[in-house]
Amino acid sequence: MCEYDTDDYNFKRQNMIKNLYGVVITLYNTGVSCEFFACYIILVSSFCDIVTDIIL
């Protein structure tokens, strides 16, 4: 998890995922349903791929 990837693409993608997971954890702690939580993780993964492709 703490490994620094020298590949810029992977590094950007990992940072984006970490930030979005921070949002997920915050929502989860406020009592959001597990179904929403699962859907959000799937959306986050595909969203990160799309955004990274656009950025790079």
Over residues 17-47, the pLDDT tens digits come to: 788 788 777 877 777 676 776 777 777 778 7
What's the rounded Cα separation, in Å, for the pair 55 and 2?
A: 23
Question: Which H/E stretch holds residue 50?
Answer: helix 34-55
Per-residue pLDDT averaged across 4-25, rounded?
75
- pTM here is 0.35
pLDDT of residue 9: 72
